[in-house]
Structure 1
Amino acid sequence: MRLKVIESGDGPPVVLLHGLFGMARNLGVVQRAIAPRHRVLAMDLRNHGDSPHAPGMTYPEIAGDVAETMRELGVEQAAVIGHSMGGKTAMMLALTHPAMVSRLLVADIAPGRNPPSFDGYAKAMRAIPLEPELTRQQADEALLGAVEEASIRAFLLQNMRFGAEPGWRIGLDNIIAGMKDILDWPDMGRTYEGPTLFVAGEKSPYIRDEHRPAIKALFPHSRLVTLKGAGHWLHAENPEGFNKIVEAFLAA
Structure 2
Amino acid sequence: MVLAGGAALVLSGCATGSVGQEAEAPFDGARIMVWTSGQGRDLVLIPGLSSHPEIWDDLVARLGAGYRVHRVHVRGFAGLDAGDNASGPVAAPVAEEIAEYLAFNDITSAPVIGHSMGGTIGLMLAARHPALVERLMVVDQVPFMGVFYGPAGTTAESVRPVADMTRDRMASADDAGWAAGAQAAIAGMVLTESGRAGPVRHAVETDRRVAANAMHELITTDLTGELGRITAPTTVLYVNGPNIPLSDAQLDGVFQAVYAPLSGVALKRIPDSAHFIMIDQPDVFEAEVRAFLD
Q: Same fold (TM over 0.5)?
A: yes
- Give the structure 2 partner of residue 171 of structure 1: 207
Identity %: 22
TM-score w.r.t. the length of structure 1 is 0.78
233, 249, 255: which is aligned to 1:211? 255
Structure 2 vs 1, CA of residues 99 and 231 (structure 1 numbering), >3 Å: closer, same or farther? same
Instruction: Tell whether 2:86 aligns with 1:45.
Output: no
- Specify every segment of 5 or more residues in structure 1 that has no aligned partner in the other structure, as ranges: 131-138, 161-167
Contact map agreement 1:8 1:35 (CA 8 A) in 2? no
88, 97, 102: which is aligned to 1:56? 88
Instruction: Tell whether 2:157 aligns with 1:87.
Output: no
Structure 2 vs 1, CA of residues 146 and 106 (structure 1 numbering), >3 Å: closer, same or farther? closer
- Give the structure 2 partner of residue 195 of structure 1: 233
2: CA distance, partners of 1:146 / 1:125: 17
- Give the structure 1 partner of residue 269 of structure 2: 226
Instruction: Tell whether 2:55 aligns with 1:26.
Output: yes
Range 180-189 or range 80-89, more displaced: 180-189
TM-score w.r.t. the length of structure 2 is 0.68
- Give the structure 1 partner of residue 170 of structure 2: 123
- Give the structure 1 partner of residue 37 of structure 2: 8
Letter paired with 1:112: F
Structure 2 vs 1, CA of residues 129 and 110 (structure 1 numbering), >3 Å: closer, same or farther? closer
2: CA distance, partners of 1:196 / 1:12: 18
Contact map agreement 2:113 2:138 (CA 8 A) in 1? yes
1: CA distance, partners of 2:186 / 2:239: 20
How many aligned positions are there?
232
- What are the within-5 Å matches in structure 2 for residues 149-160 of structure 1? 149=187, 155-160=199-204
Letter paired with 2:175: I
Cα root mean square deviation, aligned: 3.2
Offset from partner CA, 1:123-179 (integer Å, 9 cap, x none): 39932259xxxxxxxx85x5489658376576233354xxxxxxx4x3321321342
- Specify every segment of 5 or more residues in structure 2 that has no aligned partner in the other structure, as ranges: 2-28, 150-162, 188-192
